[in-house]
Amino acid sequence: MFTKILIANRGEIACRVIATAQKMGIQTVAVYSEADKEARHVQLADEAVLIGPAASRESYLVADKIIAAAKTTGAQAIHPGYGFLSENAEFSKRCEEEGIAFIGPRHFSIAAMGDKIESKKLAGAAGVNCIPGVNHAIETAEKAVEIAKGIGYPVMIKASAGGGGKGLRVAFNDKEAFEGFTSCRNEARNSFGDDRVFIEKFVEEPRHIEIQVLGDSHGNVVYLNERECSIQRRHQKVIEEAPSPFISEATRKAMGEQAVLLAKAVKYQSAGTVEFVVGKDQSFYFLEMNTRLQVEHPVTEAITGLDLVEQMIRVAAGEKLSFAQADVQRNGWAIECRINAEDPFRNFLPSTGRLVRFQTPHQTMFQGNVQDLYGVRVDTGVQDGGEIPMFYDSMIAKLIVHGKDRHEAIAKMREALNGFVIRGISSNIPFQAALLAHPRFVSGDFNTGFIAEQYSQGFRAEDVPHDDHDFLAALAAFVRRKSRERAAGLSGQLPGYDVQLGQDYAVVELGKEGNNRYVPVHVDELVGKHGEARITVNGKTYAIASNSRLNDIRIVGTCNGQPFTAQIERGTLKNPLALQVQHNGTRIQALVMSPRMAELHQLMPYKAPPDLSRFVLSPMPGLLVDVAVSVGQKVQAGERVAVIEAMKMENVLFAARDGVVKKVMAAKGESLTVEQMIVEFE
Distance, CA of 168 to CA of 5 (rounded, Å): 38
Phi/psi of residue 601, each to 5°? Answer: -60, -35
- For the chain, count helices (H), then strands (E): 17, 39
State which H helix or E strand residue 680 sits in. strand 677-681
Strand partners, 646: 649
Q: How many CB atoms lie within 10 A of CB 163?
A: 14
Question: What is the C-alpha separation between 589 and 58, in angstroms, rounded?
Answer: 45
652 backbone dihedrals φ, ψ, rounded to 5° = -95, 130
Active-site residue, from 87, 210, 241, 288: 288
Give 173-181 contacts, CB < 8 A, sequence gap 24+.
174/145, 174/148, 174/149, 177/141, 177/144, 177/145, 177/148, 177/153, 178/141, 178/142, 178/144, 178/145, 179/141, 180/144, 181/138, 181/141, 181/144, 181/145, 181/157
For residue 667, give the DSSP letter: -
| Cβ neighbours for 493, distance < 8 A, ≥ 6 positions apart | 499
Q: How far apart are CA 428 and CA 347, in angstroms?
A: 11
Report d(CA 164, CA 323) in Å as an integer. Answer: 34
Please give the single-letter amino acid code of residue 95. Answer: C
CB atoms within 10 A of CB 451: 21
HEC string of 557-623?
EEECCEEEEEEEEECCCCCCCCEEEEECCEEEEEEEECHHHHHHHHCCCCCCCCCCCCEEECCCCEE
Dihedral sign for Cα 11, 13, 17, 22, please: positive
Q: Does residue 288 carry a catalytic annotation?
A: yes
DSSP string computed for 279-336: -TTS-EEEEEEE-S--TTHHHHHHHH---HHHHHHHHHTTPPPSS-GGG----SEEEE
Give the containing element (helix H, strand E) for 481: helix 469-488
Query: Residue 424: left if φ>0, alpha if ψ -120 to 50, beta else—which one?
Result: left
Residues 485 and 501: their CA atoms lie apart, in Å, by 7
Backbone angles phi, psi at 467, to 5 degrees: -60, -35
Measured CA to CA, the distance from residue 251 to residue 277 in angstroms comes to 12
Nearest to 209 by CA among 116, 105, 279, 123: 279
Sequential DSSP letters for 149-192: HHH-SSEEEEEEEEETTEEEEEESSHHHHHHHHHHHHHHHHHHH
- Mapped onto helix, strand or coil, the DSSP state of residue 474 is helix
Distance CA 336, CA 303 (A): 12
N-to-C CA span, the chain:
70
**Cβ atoms 611, 657 nearer than 8 A:** no
How many whole angstroms separate alpha carbon 14 and alpha carbon 652? 33
Q: What residue type is 569 in one-letter code?
A: E
C-alpha–C-alpha distance, residues 619 and 499, integer Å: 44
Q: Give me the residues paired with residue 521 across strands.
A: 505, 537
Residue positions annotated with a catalytic role: 288
